[in-house]
Amino acid sequence: MELILRADVESLGRLGDKVSVKPGYGRNYLIPQGLAMLASDANLRRFENERKKLQAKRDALAFAAQSLADKIAAVEVVIEVRVGEGDKLYGSVTSGIIADRMAELGIEIDRKKIVLDDPIRALGQYEVAVKLMPEVRGIVKVSVVRQGGVEEEEVLAAPAAAAPAGAEVETSAEASGQPEEETA
């Protein structure tokens, strides 16, 4: 089946290309979605009249995608995760988690556009590609850090270090003036 593409279709062609596809793919997906039209003489003439409008629309989308790619490059996504012994993550960081964290930062990205070959399973810094359009990709910096970090350990150690040697720490009952309950 011969078709004229009315939009860029990944792994098939760009706007205005004449392509040959299997009939089911053309009839059931490309034509109903408005991505293509049958390649007849009448449709070729109609497409040439329509081409400027479609190209202007595509250029506007490309400009918007490029500005979003610039915005993505300027941001760093920090994801705190729980880790076990040897800094091994409980679970992994997926494209859905990255998309949610970016949404919290005010950048709405569909998780399907975030390109991760495999989920992230270790602490560290990563550069993750975001496919906005076939020719426009953004790179987001993702930092996977330990939940709570070193600061939490320092806070837990601080009260014990602050108490003078030999001093007893008051229990909550003594501090509130309540008599302690006797156990028999």
Structure tokens at 158: 């601080």
Average pLDDT, the chain: 80
**Residue 140: strand pairing partners:** 128
Domain ranges of the chain: 2-65, 75-149
**15-30: b (≥16 Cβ within 10 Å) or e:** bbeebebeeeebeeeb
CATH of 75-149, one of 3.10.430.100, 3.20.20.120, 3.40.50.970, 1.10.260.40: 3.10.430.100
3-class secondary-structure state, position 175: helix
Confidence label for 157 from pLDDT (cuts 50, 70 and 90): very low
pTM score, whole prediction: 0.62
The predicted model gives 64-81 an average pLDDT of 90
Name the more confident of 162 and 19. 19
For residue 38, the model assigns a pLDDT of 93
pLDDT at 7 over 80: yes
Whose CA is closest to 73, among 133, 134, 127?
A: 127
62, exposed or middle or buried, with CB in 10 Å at 0-12, 13-18, 19+?
middle
Residues 2-65: name the CATH superfamily: Ribosomal protein L9, N-terminal domain (3.40.5.10)
